[in-house]
Every structure is written in structure tokens, then in C-alpha cells.
Amino acid sequence: MIELKTLLLIGGVLHFGILIASALVPQVLNWRNELKKLPRLFEQLVWVHGAFIVLTIAGSGVLSAMNSAELASGTLLARCVCGFISLFWAARLAVQFFYFAPQEYLRTLTLKIGYHGLTIVFTYLTVVYGCGALSP
């Protein structure tokens, strides 16, 4: 059986994969033109919120990749960090299933595979970090 620290290390690396996929979203969804249709403040909010989400994902990836053994240690701090990361991805997974309606944008096989691949990654992160949060 694979140790939790290895699963968390993999989770850390997966965060960077998500960032790569996220970097493609503005182009695929044509944000430059679409956001120009909104009031300037709304456009700014989308970019700023996006930047903070990127920082959160990058921070989670760095923490996990550099500290996977510590996160698997079961200390209160490790469990809290794992719990936060698990809740973050569980919320994102809920948005994926119950809020987003991406069908009209999934026009190519590559986009469909990417979208469903991200769903699998979000599920992995939710479960693995949840295990880290609940481990003694």
C-alpha cells in the first residue's frame, strides 16, 4: 500500500498540473474579449480573484511537495492544513458537479478529456487530503 506521505507528494505535484490547466482557461473561454463586455470593476474582480486562487493552489502545491512527510505526521497543524486543502477541493468539486454548465465549451475531445481529468484530480485531492486530516 502506498504511504500517505507519497500520496500527499503526488497531490502536491497535481496542484501544479492544475495550474497549467488553469493557465489555458482565459484563452479557451476568450476572457480578454468577454470580460471587456463587463464594467471595468467586474473585469478587475475576475482577474484579482483568479490571481488569489492561483496563489492558493500554488501554495498548497509547494507546501505539499516540500512537506509531504510532515503533512502525513498526524500533528494538529498537519491535520488542519490537510483539512483546509481537502475542503478547498471538495468545494471546487461541488462547483464542478452542481454549478458549472460547461457543455457548450467542451467542443473538442481534448477539452472533454481535460475537464473530466480535472474532475478526477479534484476528487483525488479531496480524498487524499481528507485522509490526512482524519489520520491520527
pTM metric for this prediction: 0.92
* CB-CB neighbours of 50 under 10 Å: 14
- The per-residue pLDDT for range 57-109, each reduced to its tens digit, is 999 999 999 999 999 999 999 999 999 999 999 999 999 999 999 988 899 99
Q: How confident is the model at residue 10 (pLDDT cuts 50, 70, 90)?
A: very high
pLDDT greater than 90 at residue 1:
no
Predicted pLDDT at 130: 98
Is 84 within 8 Å of 20 (Cβ atoms)? no
The domain locations on the chain are 4-134
Within 8 A by CB and 6+ apart from 58, the residues are 15, 16, 19
- Of the pLDDT bands very low, low, confident and very high (cuts 50, 70, 90), residue 136 is confident
**49 vs 14, 52, 112, 129, CA distance in Å?**
21, 5, 25, 24
Q: At what angle do helices 109-134 and 76-98 cross, to 10 degrees?
A: 150
**Does the structure show a pLDDT above 90 at 8?**
yes
